[in-house]
Amino acid sequence: MKSVRHLLWYWLPPLAWMGLIFFVSSQPDVPSPPGPLLQELYEKGGHALAYAVLAWFYLRALRQSIRAASTPRLVGGGLAVLYALSDEYHQTFVPGRSGNLLDVLMDGVGMCGAILLDWWLERRRLPRRPAESRPTESRQPPAR
């Protein structure tokens, strides 16, 4: 059985990040830059970044208990999207805020970005097969 310290080391970051997202979502008014375009970029970019970090924290924690390569990505992505949905629902109870499915979509974009980055980094870490052992195509000239 894993120690409490081990579990806290891996699960405290995603839990703390979820708490931060909840706290920010509970604020009736969040400061934003001037201008509608900058405000939209700031808000949607913030959603994508926040959920990219959350997905990354989930991946880090899930890898300690799930050894299959793709399973932590699926579970971590699913958890991030479920939390995004619950957060938007939570915002419907906050005065001055509202739930928005476009925000969930942007959260999903961030989550997918983190998962794709994780997949890409994993592929870079894996040793490549030597050229001699790779299957090669036949390079014969076409028949006339």
CA 60 from centre of chain: 11
Contact 68, 131 (CB under 8 A): no
Tokens coding 136: 């090669």
Lowest mean per-residue pLDDT among 46-60, 89-103, 126-140: 126-140
* pLDDT number for residue 103: 94
Comparing 110 with 34, the larger pLDDT belongs to 110
